[in-house]
Structure 1
Amino acid sequence: MATTTEAHGNGASPYKHPYHLVDPSPWPLMGSFSGGALVLGIVLWAHNGSQWVFWLGLLGVLSTMFFWWRDVVKESSTPGLHSPIVRIGLRYGMTLFIASEVMFFVAFFWAYFHFALYPDHVSGAAAPAVWPPRGIHTFDPWGLPFLNTMILLLSGCTVTWAHAALINNDRKALVQGLALTVLLGVLFTSLQAWEYSMAPFPFRDGGVYPSVFFLATGFHGFHVIVGTTFLAVCLLRAMKGHFTPEKHFGFEAAAWYWHFVDVVWLFLFVCIYWWGAGEIAQH
């Protein structure tokens, strides 16, 4: 009978079942404590001005992410561990994660439409109540917001091109498509930061409109940064030859996430920038 080492060397699974029993790992426990420290640090920073717990928690979270995902990448390249049934489980996990993210943004849209459709619910609103509130000037939806929309739609095309290239085992086109997608993600984030710097309403103490605007678009911007990082890691892995036409769920999950980010932005553009536009600010 072959030993575990021999079984790995022959590309066979060392187990007598199709499931993946993970090795003992410190990262779930460390991630839990780090996440708790991060939230506690935010509270302490906001109330007492003490920052060291926040930075300690952030360091722990980032370290957990790096080392845990490094272990997952190693597992994916170990023959026999990520069997077809394990990959189905990974697909279910990513599907449920994206579904939870959908509900995350539903809460933001709920808050926005609550005040947009019932502006008289805004505290201190003058009668007759309007949306956006009086005194608020909004962005021109056909300026930077529309340009960013085109950038994200183009990035959706380039990541699909990269996926098609991988299916056809075209390594060069795979790397080119991923590189373009990452660059477009960075460009989107840069333009949104520029847009924020020109916002005609304050980030703090500006009332309900800036609150819901920065909450929804800001969290989407954070998701773009996460997705760009996700795709950048896939780009490095593609350059190292980690993906094959038959086995590449790591890249596929990143593509799913990126398309989700694209769709959310379309709703943000239509609902907040276009439908919810008021008197346009002059820059």
Structure 2
Amino acid sequence: MTTKQYESYYVPAQSHWPIVGAVALFLIAVGAGQYVSTLASEQSSWGGWVLLAGIALIIYMVFGWFGNVINESMAGKYSAQMDGSFKQGMSWFIFSEVMFFAAFFGALFYARVFAVPWLDGAGNNAMTGAVLWPEFTATWPLIKTPDGTETTGMGWYGLPLINTILLLTSSVTAHFAHVALEQNKRPQLKAWLGLTIVLGVIFLSLQVLEYAHGYSDEMKLYLDSGIYGNTFYMLTGFHGLHVTLGTIMLFVVFLRVLKGHFTPENHFAFQAASWYWHFVDVVWVGLFIFVYII
């Protein structure tokens, strides 16, 4: 690597955005924890307001920080080395998200294969069922917990199946948008990217309807409905949060496309959003199989 290549690598000035992001994540963690802990009780909770403050602050951070990056990119300050750094950073970010969901899938696996059967006296822990809940019968979905709480399992047909079709279709439309960008076909790029965003919004809307149905008197599938309710809302809820983030990323990219940003040779922001969108699609396929079907 030549000295000239080293000199072309742009080093941004010191930024306050990481500190803002850290404070926002702290508020989200504290607010969400306090809000969920009082969800089943009738007492008022300040956690919801702290959670909203954290979300608002992180949105402010994202727009401010990404705005700086966009301005620096449009000013021509980024070289091929910087693009490589961005790609490595995004790759590691997605890898960390893979490990995040792997932990949740691991919790689901442990509950289904070990914890619930043990309460029924399976394996080497037979005394667990005989001593604690001798009348408990292990099933999955766990529609009746050892303490007598009853709920209903969420089927795979209906809204979950429709959402699966929507996300898989959106993955295809995102790919078509990427191909259109590489071929410098701006009208097709706008159409396919816009359709991808619409499909994402529809997915989130149907997810809200599914949650409303789960919390209805008919299903009684609550967050505190035993390990099944916990894992169901934990996995689908965090995935919905990631779909929301991916939709926002695609929308920002769409606004940049309307402004004439990106070329067939230089469009990493689009590529990063596309990678992330394909990632949430793959995660949903896993959710659909292991949470809804099996």
Q: Name the SS of the counterpart of 1:138 in structure 2.
A: coil
Following superposition, the deviation at residue 53 of structure 1 comes to: 4.6
Residue 58 (1) aligns with residue 58 (2): no
Residue pair 1:125, 1:133 contacting (<8 A) in 2 also: no
- Paired positions, count: 261
Tell me which of 228, 232, 236 is aligned to 1:217: 236
Structure 1: how far apart are the matches of 2:161 and 2:135? 32
Q: Name the SS of the counterpart of 1:172 in structure 2.
A: helix
Match of 2:81 in 1: 85
Tell me which of 113, 119, 134 is aligned to 1:117: 113
Residue pair 1:217, 1:268 contacting (<8 A) in 2 also: yes
The TM-score, its normalising length taken from structure 1, stands at 0.85
Larger relative contact order (CA 8 Å, sep ≥ 6)? 1
Structure 1 pair 84/124, CA: closer, same or farther in 2 (3 Å)? Answer: farther
Structure 2: how far apart are the matches of 1:40 and 1:217? 21
Following superposition, the deviation at residue 175 of structure 1 comes to: 0.5
Q: Name the SS of the counterpart of 1:19 in structure 2.
A: coil
Structure 2: how far apart are the matches of 1:186 and 1:198? 19
Tell me which of 34, 54, 78 is aligned to 2:24: 34
Residue pair 1:224, 1:261 contacting (<8 A) in 2 also: yes
Residue 148 (1) aligns with residue 163 (2): yes
Following superposition, the deviation at residue 106 of structure 1 comes to: 0.7
Structure 1: how far apart are the matches of 2:111 and 2:97? 22
Match of 1:205 in 2: 224
Following superposition, the deviation at residue 153 of structure 1 comes to: 0.6
Letter of the 2:220 counterpart: F
Moved more, 190-199 or 212-221: 190-199
Structure 1: how far apart are the matches of 2:30 and 2:289? 36
Match of 1:243 in 2: 262
Match of 1:99 in 2: 95
Match of 1:280 in 2: none
Match of 2:138 in 1: 129
Structure 2: how far apart are the matches of 1:58 and 1:165? 34
Letter of the 1:133 counterpart: L
The TM-score, its normalising length taken from structure 2, stands at 0.82
Structure 1: how far apart are the matches of 2:193 and 2:134? 48
Residue pair 2:223, 2:233 contacting (<8 A) in 1 also: no
User: Unaligned 5+ residue runs, structure 1?
Assistant: 1-13, 276-283
Residue pair 2:177, 2:193 contacting (<8 A) in 1 also: yes
Following superposition, the deviation at residue 44 of structure 1 comes to: 5.8
Residue pair 1:159, 1:255 contacting (<8 A) in 2 also: yes
Deviation string, structure 1 residues 36-83 (Cα, Å, up to 9, x no partner): 34434445665783356544443332211111111011111111x211
Structure 1: how far apart are the matches of 2:157 and 2:34? 41
User: Identity percentage over the alignment?
Assistant: 39
Letter of the 2:210 counterpart: E
Structure 2: how far apart are the matches of 1:144 and 1:43? 29
Following superposition, the deviation at residue 18 of structure 1 comes to: 2.9
Letter of the 2:169 counterpart: L
Residue pair 2:253, 2:269 contacting (<8 A) in 1 also: yes
Q: Name the SS of the counterpart of 2:85 in structure 1.
A: helix
Following superposition, the deviation at residue 28 of structure 1 comes to: 1.8
Structure 2: how far apart are the matches of 1:273 and 1:185? 20
Residue 22 (1) aligns with residue 12 (2): yes
Residue pair 2:143, 2:153 contacting (<8 A) in 1 also: no
Structure 1 pair 270/170, CA: closer, same or farther in 2 (3 Å)? Answer: same
Q: Name the SS of the counterpart of 2:7 in structure 1.
A: coil
Structure 1 pair 124/83, CA: closer, same or farther in 2 (3 Å)? Answer: farther
Residue pair 1:115, 1:121 contacting (<8 A) in 2 also: no
User: Unaligned 5+ residue runs, structure 2?
Assistant: 39-43, 120-131, 145-150
Structure 2: how far apart are the matches of 1:73 and 1:152? 28
Structure 1: how far apart are the matches of 2:268 and 2:31? 35
Residue 163 (1) aligns with residue 160 (2): no
Residue 262 (1) aligns with residue 281 (2): yes
Q: Name the SS of the counterpart of 1:137 in structure 2.
A: coil
